[in-house]
Amino acid sequence: MKARKRERRRYAKPGGETYVFRLFVVGNESNSTQARGNLARLCEEHLKGRCQIETVDVLKDAATARKNNVLVTPTLILIRPFPKVTVIGNLSDTRQVLAALRLIGDER
């Protein structure tokens, strides 16, 4: 029963639900700043604002980063909808990021 539920969650279509992101950055370094901007733009253009972004500055909160297995910044983690996705980098390659977040088909 539990296994079937997990299976259903795995293939659940995102539909109109809110996307919950956790973005790990380091201060105002160039890639971190770019990642912030790119994620905000992506939410605006592709999710019509249906997203919730929690930004974690690893200089202030390294424990959360370690807990989430974050090795480098910037790292974006899609918390919801399931399954969890991790994207590393400044999110400048929009197509790749959208494919990773299952917002478009992966054309690779």
Partner 1 sequence: MSHRKRPVHRPKIRMKEAEALVRALETHQVDGIVGERHIMVCRLKEVEEKLEHSRDQVRALAASLQSMRENEKALIAREIHDEFGQTLTCLQLGLSWMAGKVDPQQQPVLEKIRSLSALVTAMIRSVQRFAHELRPGVLNELGLVKTLKSEAWEFEGRTGIPCKVKTNIGKARFDHVGSVALFRIAQAALTNVARHAQASRAMVSLLKKKHMLILTVLDDGKGITKEMVHSHRSIGIIGMRERALALDGTLTFSGSKGKGTTMTVRVPLSRVLIGQESVSS
Nearest to partner 1 of 22, 73 (CB atom) = 73
- If one asks whether residue 86 binds partner 1 (CB under 8 A), the answer comes out as yes
CA 83 to chain centre: 11
CB of 40 to partner 1, least distance (A): 17
Nearest to partner 1 of 17, 54 (CB atom) = 54
Helix (H, G, I), strand (E, B) or coil at 89: coil
Distances (CA, A) of 60 to 43, 65, 72, 103: 25, 10, 15, 31
CA 76 to chain centre: 4
> Restricting to residues 18-47, which ones interact with partner 1 according to CB under 8 A?
24-27, 29-32
Q: Which residues bind partner 1 (CB under 8 A)?
A: 24-27, 29-32, 58-59, 62, 65-66, 69-74, 86-90, 92
